[in-house]
Amino acid sequence: MFKEFQQLKRRIYLVVFPLFSLSLLVNQFHYRHSDSTLHFEDKLKDYLMLSWFLIGFLLLMIKKSSLRTVELITLGLVPIILFIYLRHILFVEIPREDVLDSGTFLFWAPFLFIAIFISLPKKQALIYALSIQTVNLVMTFFAYWQFQYPDDTTRILFNFFISQYVFIFAMFYFQELFKVFLKNRELEDMASTDYLTGLPNRRKIDQILNKQFRNGKAFSIILLDIDHFKAINDKYGHDIGDSVLKKISSLLSAHKKDQHFLGRWGGEEFIMIVTGGTNTEEEAERIRSIIEAHLFMDVQTVTASFGIATYEQGDDKRSLLNRADSALYLSKENGRNRVSVL
């Protein structure tokens, strides 16, 4: 689950960083083709942020393991840049214009807190976010005390800071809800996953089969059973037997086609749901050959028997599985290490 979350964060940054960069480029283009003057603080802020977003994007594209480094630099750099920008607004822009032209600051500031809460543990994120916001608030009080802003500007600033504090605490509690969601997802995955092989278990395969029947499209199932597995357990012990099961599952996972579903059916039996117009008998024969050719540690050669059944009009789950099971029994009766179709 942690790995999935890290991958999700990486995808978010790969989308957001180019969008932020585009916003900054549009901002620069606007000022270059207008009568407005871009002050040093604005130039510094824009160029620093643009440079980092482009560098961060390239790092994430080239090296997936750079995610944590990119996150930490972003969380250190962006608050400083936003502080510089807010200082310019409070001490230069508002006193000069007598109005708050918030520009991109009010639009983009909340995204800093999103980054904080998806990058740091809950309590650390809350402390860091409140610290940043409090520093900005103190600076705003000093500026207000010095320049005595107009009522409209004061009202905008007041609402901005209140909304930011609300946003911070909303993110704090949302993170708690997200943890509950991840925990429930983890429990659901555990209930649907075979603990030994990591494959979908019988419960999950049942759900997939039900979905296939609802779709009404042609599909087949392959049942495979490891030959003489009881003898392997008796001769080499259950630890070796478990290692054989795990190796078989990894071979099946590595060599199955992406559109097919694989699971552990129980004991030494595995099941594959074959979709997409694949020649099921050829597919089963290919997998049988791969298992037979593999040298297993301690046991050396292991073989498997296969039974195939294809969905026909009027089939239900029981009739289809019974035919596949009968085909598997036929393979066993005819000498094992073979594929049979019914």
Shared domain for 145 and 226, answered yes or no, is no
What does the pLDDT read at residue 330? Answer: 96
The domain boundary, picked from 157, 191, 225, lies at 191
Residue 137 corresponds to which tokens in the numbers above? 């608030």
Q: Identify whether residues 122 and 206 lie together within a single domain.
A: no
- 130 occurs within a structural domain: yes
Same domain, 50 and 187: yes
State how far the Cα of 117 lies from the Cα of 187, in Å rounded to an integer: 24
Residue 59 domain flag: yes
Residues 6+ apart with CB under 8 A from 230: none
Query: In this structure, are 106 and 211 located in the same domain?
Result: no
Q: Kindly state whether residue 196 falls inside one of the protein's structural domains.
A: no
Q: Model pTM? A: 0.59
Give the structural domain span for 316.
202-341
- Do the beta carbons of residue 280 and residue 310 sit within 8 Å? yes
**Which pLDDT score is estimated for 100?**
56
The one-letter code for the residue type at 230 is K
Task: Give the CATH number for residue 325.
Answer: 3.30.70.270
pLDDT tens, position by position, 217-264? 889 999 999 999 999 999 999 999 999 999 999 999 999 988 899 999
Domain stops at, among 166, 191, 216: 191
Kindly state the average pLDDT of the residues 45-61: 87
268 is catalytic: yes
Residue 282 lies in a domain: yes
Tokens of 252: 């099946």
Whether 299 maps to a domain, the answer reads yes
Domain boundary among the residues 191, 226, 246 is at 191
Q: What is the arithmetic mean of pLDDT over 211-222?
A: 90
Query: For residues 108 and 59, what is the distance between their CA atoms, to the nearest angstrom?
Result: 23
Is 211 found in the same domain as 184? no
Q: From the candidates 268, 282, 312, 333, give the one annotated as an active-site residue.
A: 268
Q: Give the phi and the psi of residue 83 in degrees, each rounded to 5.
A: -65, -45
- Whether residues 153 and 273 fall in one domain: no
| pLDDT value of position 155 | 87
Are the C-beta atoms of residues 221 and 202 closer than 8 Å to each other?
A: no
Instruction: Count how many domains the chain has.
Output: 2
Rounded distance between C-alpha atoms, residue 230 and residue 236, angstroms:
10
Statement to judge: residues 162 and 302 lie in one domain: no
Q: Is residue 197 domain-resident?
A: no
Q: What is the pLDDT of residues 258-285, one digit of tens each?
A: 889 999 998 999 999 998 777 899 999 9
For residue 121, give the amino acid letter.
P
State whether 125 and 218 are in the same domain: no
Residue type at 57 in one-letter notation: F
Q: Where does 120-215 have alpha helices with state H? A: 122-147, 151-191, 202-215
Angle at 337 between CA 333 and CA 340, to 5 degrees: 60
